Structure 1
Amino acid sequence: MTQTLKIVSWNINSVRFRIDIVERFLREAAPDILCLQETKVIDGDFPLQPFRDLGYDHIVLNGQRMHHGVAILSRVPLAEDKRLDWQANGEARHVGVRLENGLRLENVYVPAGGDIPDRDENPKFGQKLDFLARMTDWSAGLGDTPTLLVGDFNIAPLESDVWSHKQLLKVVSHTPIEVDTLNRLQAAHDWVDLGRHFVPAPERLYTWWSYRAKDWAASDRGRRLDHMWASASVAQKAVGHRVFEDCRSWLKPSDHIPIMTEFAF
């Protein structure tokens, strides 16, 4: 019997502040699993009830006061939750679970990396590169474990993943060193980039627009910072991928939009 599974990733930029649009999205899109990043709340203060009211009874949290934080909220059972410290400083940036069908689901919030793309001048940039290096080592050890890696990677790797490749070459999130580092991570497990699997380059594909723009849609200075990567065996089960650009215009929006992949297992 084929099981259809819809999995969403969304940097929500404070789950409590934006709980209204989270509820609206869940009612309209009805995913089976929602992976959130930048929840900005300790586990004890996470707004559990709105999710349970909508049938998301399986909840795994890794929260932190005012900063970072990740969560997985699911209508299907979850097991073997793990929290890996790829930042090596205790920040809440990862949570992973196993589904009953054997799939590993890993939800990650990669550090933004500050404003200066130089690890000597900007320690945050070095921390970002080191975070990705630890993820690369982890990826290399996955073997044949069927895995889906989702989240805010804070890197737009392709030229068509940003509104202007030339103007962003020295801007953190699209610099050559970040792209090279992300490519090494992808190669470590032969990850399939599901976004570009369904929307091949050079087609426009963005998931983030700055709050600084007066009219984000008119200026359309977007970047594809949010990703879903799958093991080859998992990618073969993917039947559709969608980005929800309209959510960027909702009341009190996140600067990121949800992305969703549907699988037929």
Structure 2
Amino acid sequence: MPFTLATWNINSVRLRMPLVERLLAERAPDVLCLQETKCPDDLFPFDAFRGLGYQHIAIFGQKGYHGVATVSRRPLEVVEKRRFCGIEDSRHLSVRVSAGGRSILLHNFYVPAGGDEPDPEINWKFRHKLDFVAEMNAVRAEQDDFSSSILVGDLNIAPLEHDVWSHKQLLKIVSHTPVETESFEAMRKAGEWVDLMRLNVPYEQKLYTWWSYRAQDWQASDRGRRLDHVWSSANLVPPFAGYEILREARGWERPSDHVPVIARFDLD
């Protein structure tokens, strides 16, 4: 069986625990990384995860806002819970997990959304987002003969032209502005990360992981964006066996506006 890893902005883990349980029961990834858990650590639903076989749980929560969690069937070693930009937000968690005889450093990120106005001079949320991405330049894809790195999460930027429903119409919309996409790609390249979701996908193919709640019929309009990402160190490209965007989850009862992405690696 391959090593499988899922990432999902759940938009409140307690509110949407039935959806998480469905994902784990139906797809059973080895590791699940959640973002925007909106849950302080003492109220995290540990028992529900353990009841489904996910005994190993690392969390970095925050009441009502943000928050990340990584749950696993395999043992986890917490490496870091890092606060970025000197702000007391819970947006990053890194752990180590073993697969295929190697140690994998796994980063789980929830990048700030940035508000509505793409001007850092008048919108502090956008300034925070740009500063956060700049600080991520220091997060490198560490690798050697016995170790690898993976970075996943809601990175809140759709970097490429076909990562949004309309490149032209979204150039002035937060998540796809040139200042964001250029700094994002520069950061990814600086860390020597490989964008696995675009690895074997034609550039012209549309890829979305998020559909707005504002759409009256999200499926008919299909105005999506690829805000959720799976990256790895170069030495995980050979065993990378593909991924699935679980689009149908956007139509589940009381859904998140993001859907899970499940990546597979040919690692025992």
Please confirm whether the aligned pair reaches a TM-score higher than 0.5, indicating the same fold: yes
The structure 2 residue matched to 1:172, chosen from 162, 171, 174, is: 174
User: How far off its partner does 1:199 sit?
Assistant: 2.5
Q: Does 1:162 align with 2:164?
A: yes
Distance 2:20 2:221 in 1: 25
Distance 1:196 1:18 in 2: 29
User: How far off its partner does 1:143 sit?
Assistant: 6.3
Letter in 2 for 1:135: M
Distance 2:69 2:139 in 1: 20
Distance 2:28 2:85 in 1: 32
* Correspondence for 1:235: 237
* Correspondence for 2:112: 111
* Structure 1 residue ranges without an equivalent (≥5): none
User: How far off its partner does 1:264 sit?
Assistant: 1.3
Question: Is contact 2:109–2:151 with CA below 8 Å preserved after alignment?
Answer: yes
Letter in 2 for 1:234: L
* Structure 2 residue ranges without an equivalent (≥5): none
Question: Is contact 2:170–2:176 with CA below 8 Å preserved after alignment?
Answer: yes
3-state SS in 1 of match to 2:248: helix
Distance 1:252 1:68 in 2: 19
Distance 1:162 1:242 in 2: 18
Structure richer in helix, relative to its length: 1
User: How far off its partner does 1:146 sit?
Assistant: 1.6
3-state SS in 1 of match to 2:39: coil
The structure 2 residue matched to 1:36, chosen from 6, 10, 34, is: 34
Q: Considering only aligned residues, what root-mean-square deviation do their CA atoms show, in Å?
A: 1.3
* Correspondence for 2:139: 138
What aligned pairs does 1:164-203 form with structure 2 within 5 A after superposition? 164-203=166-205
Q: TM-score when scaled to structure 2? A: 0.95
* Correspondence for 1:126: 127
3-state SS in 1 of match to 2:103: coil
* Correspondence for 1:16: 14
3-state SS in 1 of match to 2:199: helix
* Correspondence for 1:102: 103
User: How far off its partner does 1:189 sit?
Assistant: 2.2
3-state SS in 1 of match to 2:96: strand
Q: TM-score when scaled to structure 1? A: 0.96
Q: Provide the identity percentage.
A: 52
Distance 2:79 2:54 in 1: 16
